[in-house]
Amino acid sequence: MFSGKVVLITGASSGIGAETAWEFSKHGANLVLTGRNEDNLDMVSKKCENISPNKLQPLKIIADINKEKDIEYIIETTITSFKKLDILVNNAGILKSGTIETTSLQQFKDIMETNVRGPYYLTILAAPYIIQNKGNIVNVSSVAGLRSFPNTLAYSTSKAALDQFTRCVALELAPKGVRVNAVNPGVIVTDIHLRAGMSQQEYQEYIEKCKYTYPLGRPGEPKEVSSVIAFLASDAAKNITGATLPVDGGRIVMCPW
């Protein structure tokens, strides 16, 4: 399905990013994987190589999406190595909790730089190459971008911004044959909440609560998001652009409390 395509995935060292890398590998894509954790990225890359039909080895780039020079290096290295870019998956992101009374300006800055500014600049640099190949872009947002939740003010604001970014870029690039969409996951079983500061006990209680806050009665799995990302990036979705697609077990239709 993606044989001969060059796919760039940010935040590929764990969680949804790792699963997305494996999903594209199964379908024969040439991958560019970025992340900050070299050991994890090595593990993800090795599995990609093992499951790739042609045993294709991904190009690994250790980079920080918050640094302009790193973003420039990602695109430069991709084009130098493959001479083209077909698909961009803006997956890298961070989560922090806080309300208007407890969120610091520094937290807001950190979240916006990672979740919005990084994808914004990477998309700017990637766009000419994606236009050239009439490729597409998939942004990894959140159900928190589509509706409000308590204690996630900066995070929810960043994801709402990413959704609007998705729609605006989709409108701008559609005449050039480029599609731009977003997936909006609900709670997915990854380590993002633990990295955000939750204790193991708090996290387990949070996951348990999903039985009652999600119509399907459970949190999601990374694989359930990566398969939708691959669908949106494929020709099966060639008439879909500007979409923000919930992958949230029905959370969006439930009371936020």
The catalytic site residues sit at: 155
Q: What's the distance, CA 117 to chain centroid?
A: 14
- CA atoms of 102 and 96, how far apart (whole Å): 11
- The token pair that represents 220 in the structure block: 């999601």
Nearest by Cα to 140 from 39, 73, 224: 224
- CA atoms of 140 and 109, how far apart (whole Å): 19
Q: What's the distance, CA 21 to chain centroid?
A: 11
- The token pair that represents 15 in the structure block: 């969680």
Nearest by Cα to 78 from 89, 67, 93: 89
Helices (H), 62-199: 68-82, 105-112, 118-132, 153-173, 192-195
